[in-house]
Structure 1
Amino acid sequence: MKKKIKIDYVSDVACPWCAVGLGNLNQAISQLSDKVNFEVHFQPFELNPNMPLGGQDAIEHLTEKYGLTAAQVKANQSNIRIKASEAGFEFHPEGRKRVYNTFDAHRLLHWAGIEFGLEKQAILKTELLNTYFCLAVNLDDQKNLLDAVSRSGLDIYRAQEILKNGEFTKEVREAEAFYINAGISSVPSIILNDQYLLQGALPSESFINAFEQLIAKAALEKT
């Protein structure tokens, strides 16, 4: 019988390193899928929970937040674009234009997970990251969120209802609070089997090493 590893991937769809980390995680999972049943849950975290409708110019936001020059921000974006490509995400060559609030995206991800299962949730997560970083379109425009839902093979009419009626607001707020209270302050944060914390956009080799350690630990506990 295959070992099981539960993964809680705490992240935001407005986090470029979360896309890189996810791509690397998927590469690691594919290499060990014959030995392990991986159960990946996407958990919500908002980098900019107070961002108003309309968002903020991305360069302006990043220079203000991190105290960098525009040139430094663009250099960082170029580096991230290379890392993202290696991880399977082709970021827009001109970068994201604006920074948006992502709460609606997290509500849709919660819905996908509970009504369609983890595989569909993972597909929607990828499509939302593609929407923001590869297509570089407006996340405040619900049509772009619904396009991601459609590409994921999910029920677009149900998604419209969720966006309109504010469904899963309480559940997402509670999940966000849980991880913040647990000490999560940066993303991606990856929790293995509810016990072990990995942080950052780790290379696939680091994920593989962590998984192999868990496999070895489980084998020892059975002897």
Structure 2
Amino acid sequence: MNDEQIKMIATIVAKKLSEDFANNNFRIPVGVSARHVHLTKEHLEILFGENYKLKKKKELMGGQFAAEESVTIIGKKLNVIENVRILGPLRSKTQVEISKTDSIKLGIKAPIRESGLIEGSAPITIVGPCGSISLKEGCIIAKRHIHLSPKDAERFNVKNDDIVSVKICGERGGIMENVQIRVDDSYTLEMHIDTDEANAFGIECGSMVELVK
């Protein structure tokens, strides 16, 4: 293959990539996650009563769902945040996910963590209609991440736990770094950020971003 042929192939590939990007084939939709709570069966029953079952409000990715039920959370300053949504199904550990702004309001130092990694995280009190629980640890700020199916991961040439950056366009656009890749058969393509991050970059649910490795 001579230089002219290589240049011709490179031009064709570049054009195809440009077309793919224009058609959203290499863009990632954004999901903005507000504060929420994951509960164990034991804690659900303390908060809502014996043998209580969560009522589904909305189906979410990966078999999760937003429940109709909500709780109040209380921090060290005794400041409260009401109407915090519960997400199901039940888990083996109770976890509260908030934003940095929430953390400041509550007077706690919630660390930035991947979901499920709550060891040494911030204390929090959760109040329901039938009782309350005080956790010595369990409150985090969720690490921003991108959900991909294995097929999407192959298309984007990334693997589980990779750390990437994304480019955001618009009046408040920029580069968002330290974005974790999470791959699973149950996932559909979506980047998850919290309300603070969305507001800082002027984006909302359904906005599109570009992965930059």
Q: Could you state the TM-score of these two structures normalised by the residue count of structure 1?
A: 0.21
Q: State the TM-score, normalizing by the size of structure 2.
A: 0.22
Greater relative contact order, per chain length (Cα 8 Å cut-off, separation 6+): 1
Query: 1 or 2, which has the higher helix percentage?
Result: 1
Pick the structure with more strand per residue.
Answer: 2
